[in-house]
Structure 1
Amino acid sequence: MSDVHTRMEALEERLGDPFDPDNPAGFAAVVAADEREEVPAGGARALDEFGILSEFVPETLGGRFERVDHLVELMRSVYRRDPSLGLGHCSSSLLGAVNVWTSGSPDQRRDAAELLLAGRKISCAFHELAHGNDIGSVEFAATPAHGRLSLSGRKESITNLDRAHGVVFLVRSDPAGGPRSCSQLFVPVADLDPDRFRFLPRFRSVGMRGVRLGGIEMRDCPVDEEALLGAPGTGLETVARAFQLTRVAMPGMSTALLDTSLRVTLHHVRRRRLYGRDVAAIPMVRTTLANAFADQLLCEAFATVAARSLHVLPESGSVYAPAVKYLLAGVLLDAMEQLSLVMGAEFYRRDGEHAVFQKMARDIKPVGFGHIARAACLSAMLPQLPTLARRAWSGAAPAPAALFAPDAALPPLDLAGLRVVAGGRDGLAQSLNAALDDDVPERLRPLIETHVRRLASLAEACAGLGPRDLSIAASVEVRELAARYTTVLAAAACVGVWRHAPAGDFLARPEWLVAALTRLTGIDAGRPEDVPSEVEGALVEELLDRDDRTVGFGLSARRYR
C-alpha cells in the first residue's frame, strides 16, 4: 500500500465514525459547532495532530504534497464530515500557498513551508467586494516609499485573515493600469505595523458558517520590497498558473458533500416505510438515488482526470480548470436539490440524526460562486475556443493512458511551468474520437457518438467566432458554447476512466458509463435526463452494497469509518 493510501486510512481513523454521536469530529459535533458559527474543536484538534497542512507542502520542501489527485482524495475525508472544517481550517491555506510555490523565491518558499509544517495558516487576500471576480481591477495599492513598499486599501471577504501567520496579497503596483499592473506579495503578519492596519468585522454567512470571513484595511503600511512574489507586474500571471490547481482541487474536494448527503438520504429511506412498502423501493426514490450516484461518479471522474492533467498535460490546465469548476458546481447543486426532495420534511431539521443534511445543503452553495463564479469560468474559456476548434478538436493526438489509469505514475507537478493559455492543445476532448476505435459495447457506442458529434458541432461553431464574440459581453448563445464544451470534456473523462478501469471493478462495467453519459447529454438540453431504466437497477444495487460496506460512493470506493 502506498504512503498516501496509508495516510488516508490514518486520517479516517483519527477523525472517527461521523455517525457516532459521541465523536468530537462527528456529525453531531459538526452540527452543534455550526449553530455556534464555529468549526468543531475536536475535528480541528484531530487534523492538527495529523499535520493536515503538511499535505499542502511539496515534498521537496519537507511536506507530503506530491500529486494533485491524491491530495483531493485525501481531503475528501475532511470535507465529507464538515466543509467548513475543510475550507476554514485546511484548504484556505492552499489558496495562498500555491502562489508561493509558483512564483516565490527559495527563501519565500522555505518560509511558507515552515509556517504550514508548524500548523500555521496562510491567507489569500485577493478579492475586493467592489470588484468581485474581476481581481485584475483591484484597488489595494503597493506604492514605493523610502526603499520599501507602502500598502493602502481594503481587502474583504477573506478566509482566516485575522488568524493567519502569513498573507499573500494581490496588489495594484502600477497606477497606470494595464495587464502588468498587478503584483503579489507574501507578507508575514508579524512584520505588519499594528498602527497601520486594522481587521474588519467578520462577515456572517448562510452556509459555511464556521469559516471565518473577514477583511483588512491598511493605511500606508510599510513592507519590505523582498515581499514581492516574482517580478513586479506578474501577479495575474501567477494567479493564472496557481489557480489552475485550486480550481480543480476545491470542486473535487466538494464532491464529498454529495457523498455524505447521499449516504444520509440512504439511511433515511432505508429505515422508513410509506404506502405499505420501503421508501427506498419507491420508483421515484430509486431513480433519484441512481441519478445522484451517477452524478457522484461523473463529477469525480472529471475532477480526477483534470487533476492528473496538471501533471500529464500541463499546457491545457487553463481550460480544464474552469471547465471543472463550472460543470461540477452545476451538477452538485442540482443533485443536492433532488436529494432534498427525497428527504422531504427531514431536510429542514437542524437536530436529530439527519441534521447534517441541511448543513451540507447550505454549505454546498458556495461551490457555485466561491473562489471564482461559474459565469467567470465561461468567460475564462471563451477566448480559447476558436484556437481549440481549429487546432485540437479534429486532429490532435489523444491523451496518454496515465491521464485515466488510477495507478499510473505521473510526472512531477511544475506549477511555474503551467501554461497561461492552452494554445490549441486538448488531448482530453480528442480522446473521445479514439474511444470509438475500440471494441465498444453496443449500448455505449450511440452515447459516445453523440458526444463526438457534439464536439464536431462545437468545432464548427467556435471556429468562426470573432473577437467581439469572446469578450465579457458575449451573447448567451456564445457562452452556451463554452458550457457545452465542459460536458464534452466530462464525457471524455468518464470514457477514459471506464476504458482504463481494472478488470472486475465496478468502473469497468458499462452500466455506470451509460448513466453518466446520459446525464451529461441532458445537461446540454437544460436538465439532466434520468439514468436509463435498463441500468438503474445495477447502480442502485452497487450503491446499496457500498452503503452496507461503508465505502465511498466515488471512484475510489475506499473504506470509510
Structure 2
Amino acid sequence: MSPTLAGHQAGPGADELERRLGDPWDPANPLGFDRVLAADEREEMFGDGERALDGYGLNAEFVPAELGGRLTGMDRMVDVLRAVYRRDPCLGLGYGTSSFIAAVNVWTAGDAVQQLTVADLLLTNRKIACAYHELAHGNDMAGTELAARPGDDRLLLRGRKEVVTNIERADALVLFARTDPGPGSRSHSLFFLEKDTLPAGGYRYLPRFRSAGMRGVQLGGMEFRDCPVGPSSLLGPAGHGLETAVRAFQLTRTALPAMTTGLLDTGLRVTLRHVLNRRLYGRPVAELPQVRSVLVNAFADLLMCEAMARAGLRALHLLPEETSVYAPAVKFGLAQPLLEAMQQLAGVLGAEFYLRDGPHAIFQKLVRDIKPVAFAHIARAVCQATILPQLPLLARRSWRDGEPAPDALFRPGAALPPLAFERLRVSAGGRDHFAPSLAAGLTALGSPTDPQVREVARLAAGFAAELQALRAACAELNPRRLSFPAGVDANELPARYVRVLMATACFELWRHHHTTGHGFLAEPAWALAVLTRLAATGGPAPVLPPEVEGRMFAELLDRHEAGRSFGLADGSRTTAG
C-alpha cells in the first residue's frame, strides 16, 4: 500500500464533520450559510467549504477500506455526506459525489492498477469526472455517438460529452464511448483516462453550462478530435461498458437520493425556526393546526425516505444480486415525497421562501437544488422502466412464500459484509427477499395489545395484502411486452411495488426498534404516521390522529432545541439548531 493509501480507515464520522463545519447560521462562521449563499450568487463552488472538506478527507469515504479508504458501509458513507448536503448541496455533488459516481465504475470493473490509481487520486483530494451522457441522447446511453475507433496501435476518440460535472476541474475521467458501430448491448465500452496523459491537441473543453439549481456546480463538456488512448485505458472488457455502468448505477441510484434527504432536513429546520419566531393572531404561527400538520407531514416523509434509503443501502452489502430492482426503487420512491414536502414547507414560509437575503435565504437555494433528485444522473421514468420488466419474474419466484431478508437489512448498527462489486447483477432474476419481509415481520410481531401498535400492524397488513394483489397482477404478464412505455395499468405497477417496499422498510425498522430498543423510533407514532401517508398516496393528505400528530410535533421540537438531525440518525448533532 502506498503512503497515500494509509491512515484513513479509522477516520472521523458525520458528527466530527458537523463540528468542523460549525453553526451554519452564525454570520461569523466562514463555513456558514451566508458564505454558501454568496458563492451561489456568484455561481461558484464554495472555496472555503472545499478546503474544509480537503482537511476532513471527504474523498476517503468513497474508497474501499482495502484500498486505504473509509468505505466500509454505504449507510455510513451517506450519513457523512448528508452533513454536507444539509449545508450546501453544491459541495455535496460538486466536491464529492461526482467523483463517487466515477469511482464506482472502477471498483466494479477496473483492474488492480486502475483501482490503486483512483484510490490515490481520491485520497490526495483530487477529482474524477464521469462522462456518460450526451445532450442529443439524454438517458439513452445506447445511442452514444462518441466513438473510440482503432488507430495504429491505439484507439482514437472522436465526438463530445456535455453537461458533465467537474470535467474541466478533474484530474481523470471515466468515459463511456462506442467501440462498435453495430447495434446491441456490446457496442460500448468504458475508459479510465488520466487527463495528463492526453495530448493537448486531442481535445478541447466546451463552454460551461449554467443551471438554475446547483448553480455552483461546474457543468461542462469535452470534444475529442482523434484523441489517442492506449488499450490499457479500457475499464473492464471491451464491449462491456453498458453492463458495467448498469451495475455501478445500483450504488449511485441508491446513494444520491439518500443524501438528498439532507436538503429536506435543513428545509424543515428553516421553516420550524420561522414559525416559532413569527406571531399571527396573537400567538406563534407554530401553534396553528394547519402549520403543525405540514411540519409533521414533512417530518414523517423525511423518516419514510431515510428508512427506504437505509434498507436500499444495506441491501448493496447483504443482497447485491437483487439491487438492480431495489436501487431504482429508492430513486423512484424518494424523489416525489422529497419534492412535495419542500413545496409544502414553501407554502408555510410564504413570501419568505424565495427571498435571497435574510435569515431564511438558504431555503430558496434548497428549493432549486433539490429539483435534480427527480432527473439527475438517471430519470424517474427510467427507474420505472427498469423495474417494470422484472415484476413478472419477481411475482412468480418470490412473492408467494418468499424467504425474508436477513434482519441486518433493517436493524440499525448490525454488522455488514464488505461490498462485493462482482456480485452486482444487471437483473435480479426474480430474487426478492425485501418485500416478503413484511409478512414475516407481522408474524414476528404477534398479536399486540397496545391500540397504536395494533393500528401499525393493521396498516402494514394492508401492504402485505397489496403485495399479493401485485403478485396476481404481475405473474401472468409477458416481460417481452413490458418495454417502456407500456399501458397505463402496467406503468402503475412499479409505483405500487415501490410503495410496498417503502412500507416494508418503515415497518421493519420500527419493529426492530420496538422489540429491542427504546426512544422515539421504538414508539408507534412515527410508524403510524408514515404508513398512513403511504396508504393514502394518490389521494388527499390524510389527517393523522391528534395523539400521533402531537407526539410527532413534540419530537420535532425536542430535536430542534437540541440541534439534532430530524432524520433517522436522531442522535447525531447537526450544529443547526
TM-score by length of 1: 0.98
Taking the aligned partners of 2:354 and 2:364, their CA distance within structure 1 comes to 6
Is the contact made by 1:149 and 1:225 (CA closer than 8 Å) also made in structure 2? yes
Partner residue, 1:542: 555
1:90 partnered with 2:103: no
Report the CA distance between 1:205 and its aligned residue: 0.5
Structure 1 residues 299 and 530: alpha-carbon distance in aligned structure 2, compared to 1, 3 A threshold: farther
Q: How does 1:134-213 map to 2 (within 5 A)?
A: 134-213=140-219
Q: Deviations over 1:43-101 (max 9, x none)?
A: 11100111111111111111111110000011000000000010001110000000001
The answer to whether the Cα contact below 8 Å between 1:469 and 1:478 also exists between their aligned partners in 2 is no
CA distance in 2, matches of 1:512, 1:316: 28
Could you say which residue in structure 2 is the equivalent of 1:478? Answer: 490
Relative to structure 1, is the Cα distance of residues 469 and 519 closer, same or farther in structure 2, using a 3 angstrom cutoff? farther
For 1:533, the equivalent position in structure 2 comes to: 546
Native 8 Å contact 1:261 1:336 kept in 2: yes
Aligned counterparts of 1:35 and 1:327: Cα–Cα separation in 2: 32
Q: Could you say what secondary structure the match of 1:60 adopts?
A: helix
Q: Distance in 2 between matches of 1:3 and 1:332?
A: 33
Residue 338, structure 1, aligned to residue 344, structure 2: yes
Amino acid at match of 1:548: E
1:216-268 residue CA offsets vs partner (Å, 9 max, x unmatched)? 11111000010001111111111121110111100000000000000000000
**Equivalent residue number for residue 270 of structure 1:** 276
Secondary structure of the residue aligned to 1:162 is coil
* 1:188-267 correspondence to structure 2 within 5 Å: 188-267=194-273
State the SS of the aligned residue for 1:461.
Answer: helix
Whole-angstrom distance in 2 between the partners of 1:91 and 1:512 = 30
- Cα separation, 2, equivalents of 1:3 and 1:192: 33
Shift of 1:388: 0.4
Deviation readout 1:100-122 (Å, 9 max, x if unpaired): 01100000001111111111100
Partner SS for 2:201: coil
Tell me which amino acid in the other structure corresponds to 1:118.
T
Q: 1:278, CA displacement in angstroms?
A: 1.0
What is the aligned counterpart of 1:515 among 529, 532, 546? 529
Answer yes or no: is the 8 Å Cα contact 1:24–1:40 preserved in 2. no
Bigger drift between 159-168 and 407-416 goes to: 407-416
Shift in Å, 1:531: 3.5
**Aligned residue for 1:395?**
401
Measured in 2, the distance between the counterparts of 1:192 and 1:521 equals: 55
Partner residue in 2 for 1:554: 567
Q: Does the Cα contact within 8 Å between 2:392 and 2:479 map onto a contact in 1? A: no
State the distance in 2 between where 1:533 and 1:458 align: 33
Residues of 2 paired with 1:490 and 1:146: CA distance?
Answer: 54
Q: For residues 123-165 of structure 1, what are the alpha-carbon distances to aligned partners after superposition, in whole Å with 9 as ceiling and x for unaligned?
A: 0000101111111211110111111111011111100000110
Change (3 A) 1:5 1:285: farther
Which deviates more from structure 2 when the two are superposed, residues 420-429 or residues 318-327? 420-429
Q: Secondary structure at the match of 2:517?
A: coil
Structure 1 residues 487 and 100: CA distance shift in structure 2, 3 A: same
Residues 144-199 of structure 1: per-residue CA shift (max 9 Å, x gap): 11111110111111000001101000111110121111110000011111112111
SS of the equivalent of 1:554 reads: coil
- Equivalent residue for 1:30? 36
The answer to whether residue 144 in structure 2 is matched with residue 131 in structure 1 is no
Which letter maps to 2:276?
R
Distance between the aligned counterparts of 1:458 and 1:486, measured in 2?
11
User: What are structure 1's unaligned runs of at least 5 residues?
Assistant: none
State the 1:504 CA deviation: 1.5
Q: Equivalents in 2 of 1:230, 1:278: separation in Å?
A: 60
Residues 520 and 528 in structure 1, CA contact (< 8 A), matched pair in contact too: no
Name the SS for the 1:242 alignment partner.
helix
Q: Give the drift of 1:469.
A: 3.7
CA distance in 2, matches of 1:377, 1:548: 38
Contact map agreement 2:11 2:70 (CA 8 A) in 1: no
Name the counterpart of 2:414: 408
Cα gap change, 1:245/1:7 in structure 2, threshold over 3 Å: closer, same or farther? Answer: same
5+ residue gaps, structure 2, are 1-7
- CA distance in 1 between counterparts of 2:105 and 2:242 reads 10
Shift of 1:528: 4.7
**TM-score, length-normalised on structure 2?**
0.95
Would you say 1:14 and 2:20 are equivalent positions?
yes
Which SS does the other structure have where 1:183 is aligned?
strand
Q: Following the alignment from structure 1 to structure 2, what is the Cα–Cα distance between the partners of residues 11 and 79?
A: 12
Q: Indicate whether 1:504 and 2:510 are aligned.
A: no
Shift of 1:4: 6.9
Matches of residues 482-493 of structure 1 in structure 2 within 5 Å?
482-493=494-505
Shift, 1:526, TM fit: 4.7
| Separation of aligned partners in 2, 1:156 and 1:518 | 43
CA distance in 2, matches of 1:382, 1:177: 23
Gap change, CA 1:176 and 1:91, over 3 Å in 2? same
Q: 2:540 & 2:107 partners in 1: Cα distance?
A: 40
Deviations 1:11-58 (A, max 9, x none): 111111111112121111111110001122211110011111111111
- Structure 2 distance, partners of 1:419, 1:527, is 38
- The equivalent residue for 1:376 is 382
Root mean square deviation, CA, Å: 1.4
Pairing partner for 2:109 from 103, 107, 110: 103
Q: Which residue of 2 aligns with 1:457?
A: 469
In structure 2, distance between residues paired with 1:536 and 1:75: 30
Partner of 2:145, secondary structure, is coil
CA–CA separation in structure 2 for the residues paired with 1:78 and 1:300: 16
1:527 CA displacement: 5.3
Q: CA deviation at 1:394?
A: 1.1
- Range 529-538 or range 2-11, more displaced: 2-11
Selected match of 1:466 from 471, 478, 491:
478
Partner of 2:3: none
CA contact (8 A) 2:329 2:498 kept: yes
State the secondary structure of the residue aligned to 1:429: coil
